[in-house]
A and B are shown apart, each in its own frame.
Chain A
Amino acid sequence: MPAPSASTRRRTKPAVRIHGIEKVPSGIAGLDEITGGGLPKGRTTLVCGGAGCGKTLFGMEFLINGAREHGDPGVLLAFEETADEIAKNVASLGFDVQDLVERSLLTIDFVKIDRSEIQEAGEYDLEGLFVRLDHAIKSVKAKRVVLDTLEALFAGFTNEALLRSELRRLFHWLKDTGVTAVITGERGEGTLTRYGIEEYVSDCVISLDNRVEDQISTRRMRIVKYRGSAHGANEYPFLIDDGGFSVLPVTSLGLNYEVSYERVPTGVPALDDMLEGGGYFRGASILVSGTAGTGKSSLAGLFADASCRRKEKALYFALEESGSQIRRNMRSIGLDLDGWCKKGLLKIQAARPSVFGLEMHLVTIHKLIEEFEPRAVVVDPLSSLVTTGNVGEVKSMLVRLFDYLKMKQITCLVTSLTSARGFEETEVGISSLIDTWFQVRDIEIGGERTRGLYLVKSRGMGHSNQIREFLITSKGVNLIPVAVGPNGVLTGSARVNQETEQRAQALARQQEIERKQRALLRKSKALDNQIEAMRAELAAEEEEQRSLATELHDRQMRLTESRTKLAEGRRKS
């Protein structure tokens, strides 16, 4: 039986809180969002999970972040690793344990239980554990305590009934001490912990999990219980990388984001013209779907390039090509992605879809977006994600991705490979999530293959309903209106042919008109000449008429003169 002596060291109980449970920020990215503030203050949280789930790291981050960010001193009672080992383990994550220890913000007590040197000879209790913990807490005035892994006690002592009553006493004692505690426990068969210690912890239980599905492992976290507090109930994927532990509450997003009226150019002026001349909406999700080799990646590259030109960062997730291959390929259409990469405006993140599970892809994308803060994101091609999960899973992942990007007002362009048969449907059935959807398709006419591009939809804006021929040249990409002939849409050589014919016809018509004009001109000139001749004739007749009149007048004058003279002569004689 346990000694009653524990009661002599009990501290006064913390004041009763009326306004719900007070919380202590865990400092673990994302966890505080799920729990609405962190772990319950002054209470014990059980973190359980199988081997290699990150239980110890969880505890260490809780302590280190508490010390570094909130100035809360902490105590680690380590049952499995020595202080040195722990310091080395977390040093790889950039945590300087030694420094915290020197500043009296952390103390680590390694509890060694060596079954081989212990012999039980009579009644005992675990007062030593209490004393050590109490001493450690007092030495740094600790506010946070981590016991990792308490269940090691069960391997060290045979009297399980005693251990259980001592554990119960320990949890009561921790609560009375007022410290916020995290204890870790190994997952058992059908129970949360191997020795069922979850039954003593009633306030908060967090389960960590590392599941392998289809040979791909994904870490997940779930809040099993959080007394007196609302919390996210889902399984949240989490990541342990060089930055430590991060949980992404990606399922907690909703449809209440703000939208932008700002337009983002597509990188192809002719394509902008199809979208009211402005381009995409900022924060829109754009899908470019098409069969193999139709230039989906080129459009994606142009979009990224256009973003960089505006001095806006772009993040390119390549799921099928390496970064350098993309840069080389884009060079062939006149895009210098290398330059943008060097300027820090573009980041190409290449990873095979099969390297980790869907959730991890989502988590990695999230994390990179948080770090890099891009305004444009490209995922090329989305359809290859289907290889890592079924369609339903991929869709649910994409819903969360698009919600997240929309919330951040990041314009996102994704490409999707479609089979030639299922033309109007994307493999992952995401068309309903998409704001602007382009189809790029092969058109086979006259023994050659050309590309046709058209808009399936573009929410919230007027857009062209015409099919355009999509030309990829070494100078870039262009869209030209297709020729529509008697046999339907014509592209490539057929279009050129059609255009030549049309030009010839137009020329002939032009020549005919000119010929007619010339004839008319000639006729009018002939008429003019005729009129001129007739006028001349008239003038001649008038002239003759005038001279006749003059002669007549002269004659009369002379006649009068001579008559006068004659009369004068008669008078004289």
Chain B
Amino acid sequence: MKPKSSTRAFERSTDSRKRQTVLRLYIAGSSARSMRAIENARQICDEYLAGSYELDVIDIFKQPALAKDDQILAVPTLIKKLPLPLRRFIGDLSDRDVVLVGLDVKRK
């Protein structure tokens, strides 16, 4: 029965705890704000997504072409690539609640 299976697939996909979260953090050089963003991102991941996340940190000064591909304007930007929908968090991630709600690990 197709409808049923797709419903199950949907439920599976929304269950974030069982699934890999793919994150990408764009920073600009070694500014204090960039360092803070990396720190904050690591903390959040370790606390809430332990063992089920990937976090790439990309310096746009070193890889400017990637900034274009990922439509980066503001720096730092944390992109949640998977699970969908795609989300972008801009800033040094010091506003932790916004990130947690956006990552679907904490209900508002």
Contact = CB atoms under 8 A, between A and B. Distances in A.
Contacts of A122: 36-37, 40, 90-95
B71 A112 contact: yes
A503 B89 CA distance: 108
Contact of A119 (B37, B60, B71, B90): B90
A3 B31 contact: yes
B57 interface: no
B77 interface: yes
Contacts of A8: 29
Nearest to A3: B31
Nearest to A123: B92
Contacts of B89: 118-121
A120 B91 contact: yes
A481 to B, nearest CB: 83
B1 interface: no
Interface in B52-93: 60-61, 64-65, 67-68, 71-78, 85-93
B67 A132 contact: yes
What does DSSP make chain B's interface, helix, strand, loop or mixed? mixed
A134 interface: yes
A157 B92 CA distance: 15
Contact of A124 (B29, B65, B68, B90): B90
Contacts of A156: 73
Interface bracket on A? 20 to 34
Interface residues of B, number: 37
Interface in B22-46: 26, 28-29, 31, 33, 36-37, 40
Kindly name the residue among A124, A125, A132, A157 whose own CB sees the greatest number of chain B CB atoms within 10 A.
A124
Interface string A350-364: 000000000000000
Interface string A28-64: 0000000000000000000000000000000000000
B90 A118 contact: yes
Given A3-B33, A119-B89, A131 B98 contact: no
A382 to B, nearest CB: 56
Contacts of A113: 73
Contacts of A120: 89-91, 95, 98
A128 B95 contact: no
B28 to A, nearest CB: 4
A157 B88 CA distance: 12
B64 A117 contact: no
Contacts of B94: 121-123
A111 B88 contact: no
Interface in A345-381: none
Given A5-B28, A122-B92, A123-B94, A128 B73 contact: yes
B49 interface: no
A235 interface: no
A309 interface: no
Nearest to B86: A117
Interface in A99-120: 109, 111-113, 117-120
B28 A3 contact: yes
Given A3-B28, A132-B68, A134-B64, A126 B74 contact: yes
B29 A5 contact: yes
A3 B76 CA distance: 11
Contacts of B85: 117
Contacts of B74: 118, 124-128, 157
A151 B42 CA distance: 34
Contacts of A123: 33, 91-92, 94
Nearest to A107: B68
A243 to B, nearest CB: 33
A128 B88 contact: no
A119 B68 CA distance: 19
Contacts of B60: 127-128, 131
Nearest to B87: A117
Given A124-B90, A128-B72, A131-B60, A119 B28 contact: no
Contacts of A125: 28, 33, 74-75
A132 B29 CA distance: 14
Kindly name the residue among A8, A112, A131, A136 whose own CB sees the greatest number of chain B CB atoms within 10 A.
A131
Contacts of A117: 85-88
A135 interface: yes
Contact of A128 (B67, B86, B92): B67
Contacts of B71: 111-112
Contact of A131 (B67, B92, B102): B67
Nearest to B65: A135
A127 B75 contact: yes
A165 to B, nearest CB: 13
Contacts of A128: 26, 28, 60, 67, 72-75, 77
B58 to A, nearest CB: 11
B64 A124 contact: no
Nearest to A1: B33
Interface string A277-314: 00000000000000000000000000000000000000
Nearest to B88: A118
A134 B31 CA distance: 19
Contacts of A136: 68
Nearest to B75: A127
A129 interface: yes
A361 B92 CA distance: 58
B28 A131 contact: yes
A128 B79 CA distance: 14
Nearest to A6: B28
The 8 closest A-B pairs by CB, nearest first: A122-B91, A135-B64, A128-B72, A122-B92, A122-B94, A127-B75, A127-B28, A121-B95
Interface of A: 3-5, 8, 109, 111-113, 117-129, 131-132, 134-136, 153, 156-157
7 contacts: A3-B31, A109-B68, A119-B98, A124-B33, A124-B92, A126-B73, A132-B64
Given A111-B71, A157-B74, 7 more contacts: A8-B29, A121-B89, A123-B33, A123-B94, A124-B75, A132-B68, A135-B65
